[in-house]
A and B are shown apart, each in its own frame.
Chain A
Amino acid sequence: EDQVTQSPEALRLQEGESSSLNCSYTVSGLRGLFWYRQDPGKGPEFLFTLYSAGEEKEKERLKATLTKKESFLHITAPKPEDSATYLCAVRSSWGKLQFGAGTQVVVTP
């Protein structure tokens, strides 16, 4: 059975304090690992797709990396507007998208 585990559950950062979020996964035939951002009361917003180990993607202060067992979302010099819940999801060879429970990030000024 596909599993996605995200850690930590919650993260409180000072503005400018860089950190990383972890997404560990087990999946039968990885067909993509996705990162989403979700603001309160909103649907998840797509950030990145990673397909193979060693791949990296960047967007503003966010950088996602992928290994054979986990992915990291690095937040460099975060700002208060980066506060959100970050969701990781994996797509298996069956086509199903399995989400983790998310990491809630709060960035204080």
Chain B
Amino acid sequence: EAGVVQSPRYKIIEKKQPVAFWCNPISGHNTLYWYLQNLGQGPELLIRYENEEAVDDSQLPKDRFSAERLKGVDSTLKIQPAELGDSAVYLCASSFLAGGQVGELFFGEGSRLTVL
């Protein structure tokens, strides 16, 4: 079974440039998450989708970050414009929600962003 696929794995951009990350979750998983992870820290939730609906985006900096999940499958996370402090690893995860209970999260390998 294929795992969560993310691209690109690495991205280096200059500040004020835009950047986008793509995620393909595990087939059949209806819940998708974007996390941000700084060095030496645990992942921090940016946004959670249940099917096409963003059910928790309270930690997403909406002035520069946006996300979408087309047809309840793939998702894209965009930053525009990027700032130096956005340098981090962006992790995508998916899980299966049934009867209100969410199973364990399966993570992709992450997209490492460096903003110069």
Measured CB to CB, the residues of A under 8 A from B are 4, 31, 34, 36, 41-46, 49, 87, 89, 91, 95-97, 99-102
B91 at the interface (CB under 8 A from A): yes
Given A87-B42, A101-B40, residue A42 in contact with residue B109 (CB < 8 A): yes
B84 at the interface (CB under 8 A from A): no
Contact status A44-B109, CB under 8 Å? no
User: Which residue of chain B has the shortest Cβ distance to A94 in the bound complex?
Assistant: B56
CB interface residues, B 39-67, toward A, < 8 Å: 40-45, 48, 55-56
A37 to chain B, nearest CB (A): 11
Contact status A99-B43, CB under 8 Å? yes
The count of A-to-B residue pairs whose CB atoms sit within 8 angstroms is 49
B93 at the interface (CB under 8 A from A): yes
User: Which residue of chain A has the shortest Cβ distance to B31 in the bound complex?
Assistant: A95
Select one of A46, A89, A91 contacting B106, CB under 8 A: A46
B105 at the interface (CB under 8 A from A): yes
B21 at the interface (CB under 8 A from A): no
User: Bound state CA distance, A45 and B42, in angstroms?
Assistant: 13
Given A43-B4, A87-B42, A102-B42, residue A97 in contact with residue B105 (CB < 8 A): yes
9 pairs, A vs B, C-beta closer than 8 Å: A34-B105, A41-B110, A43-B91, A44-B107, A49-B104, A89-B42, A91-B102, A101-B41, A102-B41
Residues in B whose Cβ lies below 8 Å from that of A44: 43, 91, 105, 107
Measured CB to CB, the residues of B under 8 A from A are 4, 33, 40-45, 48, 55-56, 91, 93, 101-102, 104-110
Contact status A43-B42, CB under 8 Å? no
User: Bound state CA distance, A44 and B104, in angstroms?
Assistant: 11
User: Bound state CA distance, A87 and B43, in angstroms?
Assistant: 9
Contact status B104-A34, CB under 8 Å? yes
User: Bound state CA distance, A39 and B40, in angstroms?
Assistant: 12
User: Which residue of chain B has the shortest Cβ distance to A44 in the bound complex?
Assistant: B107
Residues in B whose Cβ lies below 8 Å from that of A31: 101
